[in-house]
Amino acid sequence: MEQQSRTLRLSADRAEEIQTAGNLLKSGGLVAIPTETVYGLAANALDGRAVAAIFAAKGRPMDNPLIVHISQLDQWAALVSEIPPRAMELANRFWPGPLTIILPKSPLIPDEVSAGQATVAVRFPSHPVARAVIDAAGVPLAAPSANLSGSPSPTEAQHVLADLDGRIDAVLDGGPCRVGVESTVVTLAQEVPRLLRPGGITPEQLSQVLGRVEVDPAVMNPLAAGEKVLSPGMKYKHYSPKANVILVKGNLSAYLEYVNSRAEEGVFALCYDGEQEALRVPAVAYGAKQDAAGQARHLFDALRKLDQMGAKVVYARSPQPKGVGLAVYNRLIRAAGFEVVELG
């Protein structure tokens, strides 16, 4: 699709503007919509041409498949070859919500959505505006995060505009996102379920329903060159601000000593709440140390703020990779391009 000259600003507070978003989507347009995870860049999932325009607008590699969003559980069956009992159990427990389930796809799914995979990722979001837009469009919506490929995901409408103004038809402003990191992705297209991307639903929660769940090595570690991945999204540089982020592991006093001894122009800190005062460099906090959900909600906004403030180098306090913290760690270590400093 040709580039749009103007991106319409719509408000989710007005029912007729949600309908406008639905109409744009119905006619093959691209609309950024709020969900409980991050803002999604939506298109009609059953229209290969509309879906191709998502890749163009984001600069997304064509081999990175998209998640299809539904607003009713009964829309799922048409998108997949079959729904095994364990998939239905997962859906009953966690949908609507921040969980994406991968199954073998049905012929309805255009190749652009699945990007060459035999599977399709589906999510039933809980955000009332996301569901209202899907209803208004009357079709399932393919929607990756509504940012330029590689940059931090958008958790507010203004983040979407910072990246995509003029490249998409509209953005529907529904306020800040509650979860703040993308959905948990689990594949059931193999015998042992596998976590491909951590998110708001934790591995422990998945295991309560599924029993054994493998965690894909790419969740925590960099891929070896040429290694084949189940989730193509994991092989790309991701969630990265312009600044060079370095993840610092160690206790608070070691962190302070390390960062303070490197204070100079362009050096910034990404720390926990309440730690700014002890730092001799400008600092942005991304949540309280023990509050992984709060960290998830604020991380991407914090990364964008650091760029706006002119950060060149960012020393980031490493989150605890447990529970929802696993998702925070997964995003931050990618933002850092796996550059880690271990103190003592």
Binding of Mg ion at residue 155 (CB under 5 A)?
Answer: no
Binding of Mg ion at residue 44 (CB under 5 A)?
Answer: no
Using CB under 5 A as the binding rule, the residues of this chain from 52 to 111 that contact Mg ion are: none
Question: Among the candidate windows 44-52, 144-152, 264-272, 320-328, which touches Mg ion by CB under 5 A?
Answer: 144-152
CB of 267 to ligand AMP, least distance (A): 30
Which one, 102 or 314, has the nearer CB to ligand AMP? Answer: 102
Question: Among the candidate windows 84-92, 140-148, 293-301, 320-328, which touches Mg ion by CB under 5 A?
Answer: 140-148
3-state secondary structure 244-291: EEEEEECCHHHHHHHHHCCCCCCEEEEECCCCHHHCCCCEEECCCCCC
CB of 294 to ligand AMP, least distance (A): 21
In sequence order, the 6+-apart residues with CB closer than 8 A to the CB of 312 are 243, 244, 265, 266, 267, 268
Q: How far is 25 from 103, CA to CA, in rounded Å?
A: 25
Binding of Mg ion at residue 145 (CB under 5 A)?
Answer: yes
Which one, 185 or 195, has the nearer CB to ligand AMP? Answer: 185
Instruction: Tokens for 237, please give them.
Output: 């540089």
Instruction: Tokens for 232, please give them.
Output: 């193509």
Which one, 145 or 330, has the nearer CB to Mg ion? Answer: 145
CB of 20 to ligand AMP, least distance (A): 24
Strands 267-271 and 184-187: unpaired
Q: Which does 117 bind (CB under 5 to 8 A by kind): Mg ion, ligand AMP, none?
A: ligand AMP
Q: How far is 193 from 257, CA to CA, in rounded Å?
A: 43
Contact indicator for 29, 50 with CB cutoff of 8 Å: yes
| Beta strand segments in the chain, E | 8-11, 31-33, 40-44, 67-69, 99-104, 119-123, 141-142, 170-173, 184-187, 194-197, 214-215, 244-249, 267-271, 283-285, 313-317, 340-342
Residues touching Mg ion: how many (CB under 5 A)?
1
Which one, 43 or 267, has the nearer CB to ligand AMP? Answer: 43
CB of 328 to ligand AMP, least distance (A): 15
Q: What residue ranges bind ligand AMP (CB under 6 A)?
A: 64-67, 102, 114, 117, 119-121, 144-145, 182, 185, 196-197, 230-234
C-alpha distances out from residue 240 to 91, 205, 267, 299, Å: 32, 28, 16, 11
Output the residue with the shortest Cβ distance to ligand AMP: 233
CB of 277 to ligand AMP, least distance (A): 36
Q: How far is 183 from 37, CA to CA, in rounded Å?
A: 6
CB of 15 to ligand AMP, least distance (A): 27
Output the residue with the shortest Cβ distance to Mg ion: 145
CB of 233 to ligand AMP, least distance (A): 2
Which residues would be at the binding site for Mg ion (CB under 5 A)?
145
